[in-house]
Amino acid sequence: MNIATLISGGVDSSVVVHLLKESGYTPTLFYIKIGADEEEGLNCTSEEDIEMATLVARKYGCPLEIIDLHREYWDSVVAYTIDKVRRGLTPNPDVMCNKLIKFGCFEQKCGNGFDKTATGHYATTTETGGKTWLSTAKDPVKDQTDFLAQIDYLQVSKLMFPIGHLMKSEVRAIAESTGIATAKRKDSQGICFLGKINYNDFIRRYLGEKEGDVIELETGKKIGRHKGFWFHTIGQRHGLGFGGGPWYVIKKDINENIIYVSKGFDAEAQYGNHFTIHDFHFITDNPWNETSHPIDITFKIRHTPKFTHGKLYKENGVYKIESSKPLQGIAAGQFGVIYDAEHRLCIGSGEIQ
């Protein structure tokens, strides 16, 4: 079996290479070069990542190819992100990067010549009813199925997640015990391949700054100023910079460039029990066969180890979620990711309206 392996220069994908070699495979490694360069005026270099990937390739005798998908990334994922932020929504670039770049453009350019594509994502696949389903990882903190919830059946049926059955601590231990160069590298933080770039700097580069009022929702009192509604998201608590809090972002008036906030954890306006998702995408299949009755599910509306129980139902052709408990900070534009009641299988996702 010919296996393509996406390697990032981090510890997770490095251990993937080790495990594949232990299983008797010699995968072809691909480093996808995507990120800012001097043209964009942002500081993001891939030199260290490529150096680490090269060391891993040499250690295991695997060929390494560097694939430049820079322009494709900026034309699709960055364009999507800026458009959503400009419209006051909360995008998820990581979800779109997986769908369009890692398992989209890469598959078209290189992956189609291989039987399988292996990655360092914390996820698994499950064979049920003769079909392949995306399923959750052993490590609930590192589980990345919510970032994979827009991939399609052809993509998931070809993917391998060799570390999905391991805890992060076990992955580190393997890397250290086998002398992998990336064993002590820190996990990247930030947007997909733009992990070295501060998110607000990224947004500022494209949308600039525009001062506006911050108003207390209940009283209408002006309590401060902000530098642009696009730097803030619904439910945000940190980074507001106002005393006497905690303050939470409750809503945004994008026409007037006003942010409305509320003080205190119990602010009723922060919470909701229902939300609608549009363009719902089933990864493998609809396991409920379009039943009109509410279905017991678990779901996520942000990247978190915890799953929330609720019900999924369809009304006038639109999927809606009823949560078993009040949800804080339901942000339009984010993805509502749906799992089965035992949060084992990831069924799919849709954008929150």
Name the active-site residue from 62, 105, 192, 346. 192
DSSP letter, residue 75:
I
Residue 84 has phi, psi (to 5 degrees) of -65, -45
Q: Identify the CA nearest to 343 among candidates 121, 124, 136, 133.
A: 136
Q: Which of 113, 81, 119, 115 is nearest to 97 (CA)?
A: 81
CA proximity to 52, closest of 31, 35, 36, 68: 31
Residues 185 and 166: their CA atoms lie apart, in Å, by 18
Q: What is the largest CA-CA distance in the chain?
A: 67
State yes or no: is 97 an active-site residue. Answer: yes
**Residue 177 contacts residue 156 (beta carbons within 8 Å):** no
Q: Which residue(s) pair with 215 in the sheet?
A: 222, 260
* Residue among 62, 97, 105, 346 flagged as catalytic: 97
- Asked if 192 is an active-site residue, the reply is yes
Identify any residues that bridge with 274 across adjacent strands, giving them in sequence order.
322
Helix (H) or strand (E) run with residue 110 in it: none
**H helix intervals, the chain:** 11-22, 47-60, 70-73, 79-86, 93-97, 106-109, 153-158, 168-177, 199-207
d(CA 331, CA 89): 7
200 and 206 Cβ atoms separated by less than 8 Å = no
**Alpha helices per DSSP H over 65-224:** 70-73, 79-86, 93-97, 106-109, 153-158, 168-177, 199-207
Burial call 160-196: b when 16+ CB within 10 Å, e when fewer? bbbbbebbbeebbebbeeeebbbbebeeeeebbbbeb
Handedness of CA 89, 244, 246, 273 (dihedral sign): negative
Active-site residue list: 97, 192
